């Protein structure tokens, strides 16, 4: 097990990314039926009357990481050409399968142009992965060395890294507040239980931002080694950057810091003030606080009144891939804290020695 774990990060990331791509391409996964047309008729369709360059570029960019991760997952002794060819072929076949399935979804349109963009992105990623994948994700690659040095070992460490990646993806959502995850209310179409009032919204926003910041900070702490706060600060900075990017793209007037409402600003200050001393606590206490903060933040996000300050830019509805991406981020963002709570519970059962701290570990060895 220990011999295999250093090389398993790339396959784990590949599987996670492929599942995300599949969901985005088949969203909303309902209404399956036979269109009555030949199954592969879309392959020979003429050039579309309306060509949206942004959609085509989105297809290329969406499959580029898949090609890179596929190439990085292939055996190290394979040559550059073999890795690139196999990874590009697998990415192309994966895209072909998803486009063929779209033919049975009334809300989706199978497209040879989409297939071409996906295949091009997969090829570019495969070339990059064949060239640099081993140096980045191989057994002695930079990410693997960092992972062995900074993240707990085994599958639990890899699962934690995947969850951090999903959390960052969720921060790119177009409708939620900063660090707000677990919104089953929107996912299930349930109306807000409380009417909007400015003072009420600010209070909820403050508590939500503070508990969300404390939860993600201590979640990262529970899956990392050593006392350094740098991984925690890096993930929080990336989350704020992702939220700013999403706000700049999806909301009017396009200000990247429009998410920084008075409640969010106050909550981040409070959460930061609580997180810093919490990083000095024993691991077991950090683990408990992380779970409690996650539960609190999830409850708050389902109770907070609707946010009237960040209206979605409806002009983006013309770009189908933007809506697919929004559906993906909404699902990930809604389900993330429940997966994170399950992970923390499993971490406590399987890696109690890691959480107990060095003195307890020494005592157990004696």
Cα 294 to Cα 263: distance, rounded to the nearest angstrom: 18
Cα 255 to Cα 51: distance, rounded to the nearest angstrom: 29
How confident is the model over 46-97, as pLDDT tens digits?
877 777 777 788 889 889 999 999 999 999 889 999 999 999 999 999 999 9
223-237, 308-322, 340-354: least confidently modelled range: 308-322
The pLDDT of residue 1 is above 50: no
pLDDT for residue 180: 86
What whole-number percentage of the chain has pLDDT above 90? 37
Mean pLDDT of 272-285: 93
> What is the rounded average pLDDT for all residues in the chain?
83
Question: Higher confidence at residue 324 or residue 312?
Answer: 324
Cα 221 to Cα 236: distance, rounded to the nearest angstrom: 12
In terms of phi and psi (left: phi > 0; alpha: psi -120 to 50; beta: otherwise), the region of 320 is alpha
Place of tokens 């989706």: 108
In terms of phi and psi (left: phi > 0; alpha: psi -120 to 50; beta: otherwise), the region of 357 is left
Question: Higher confidence at residue 28 or residue 337?
Answer: 337
pLDDT for residue 286: 93
Q: Which residues pair with 224 in a beta bridge?
A: 151
Asked if residues 87 and 106 have their Cβ atoms less than 8 Å apart, the reply is no
């Amino acid at each position: 097990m220990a011999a295999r774990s250093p090389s398993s990060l790339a396959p784990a990331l590949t599987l996670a990314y492929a599942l995300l791509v599949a969901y985005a391409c088949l969203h909303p996964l309902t209404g399956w039926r036979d269109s009555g047309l030949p199954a592969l008729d879309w392959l020979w369709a003429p050039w579309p009357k309306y060509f949206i360059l942004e959609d085509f570029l989105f297809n290329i960019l969406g499959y580029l990481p898949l090609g890179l991760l596929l190439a990085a997952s292939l055996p190290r002794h394979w040559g550059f050409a073999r890795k690139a060819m196999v990874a590009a072929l697998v990415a192309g076949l994966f895209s072909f399968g998803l486009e063929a399935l779209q033919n049975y979804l009334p809300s989706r349109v199978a497209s040879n142009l989409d297939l071409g963009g996906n295949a091009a992105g997969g090829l570019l990623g495969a070339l990059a992965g064949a060239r640099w994948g081993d140096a980045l994700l191989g057994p002695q690659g930079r990410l693997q060395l960092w992972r062995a040095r900074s993240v707990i070992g085994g599958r639990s460490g890899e699962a934690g890294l995947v969850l951090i990646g999903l959390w960052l993806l969720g921060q790119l959502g177009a409708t939620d507040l900063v660090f707000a995850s677990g919104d089953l209310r929107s996912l299930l179409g349930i109306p807000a239980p409380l009417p909007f009032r400015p003072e009420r919204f600010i209070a909820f926003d403050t508590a939500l931002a503070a508990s969300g910041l404390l939860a993600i900070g201590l979640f990262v702490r529970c899956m990392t080694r050593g006392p350094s706060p740098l991984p925690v600060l890096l993930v929080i900075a990336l989350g704020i950057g992702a939220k700013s990017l999403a706000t700049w793209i999806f909301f009017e007037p396009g200000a990247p810091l429009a998410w920084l409402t008075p409640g969010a600003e106050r909550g981040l200050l409070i959460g930061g003030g609580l997180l810093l001393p919490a990083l000095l606590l024993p691991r077991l206490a950090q683990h408990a606080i992380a779970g409690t903060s996650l539960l609190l933040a999830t409850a708050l996000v389902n109770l907070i009144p609707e946010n009237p300050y960040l209206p979605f830019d409806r002009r983006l509805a013309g770009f189908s891939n933007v809506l697919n991406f929004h559906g993906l981020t909404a699902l990930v963002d809604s389900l993330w804290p429940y997966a994170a709570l399950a992970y923390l519970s499993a971490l406590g059962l399987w890696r109690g020695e890691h959480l107990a701290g060095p003195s307890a570990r020494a005592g157990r060895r004696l």
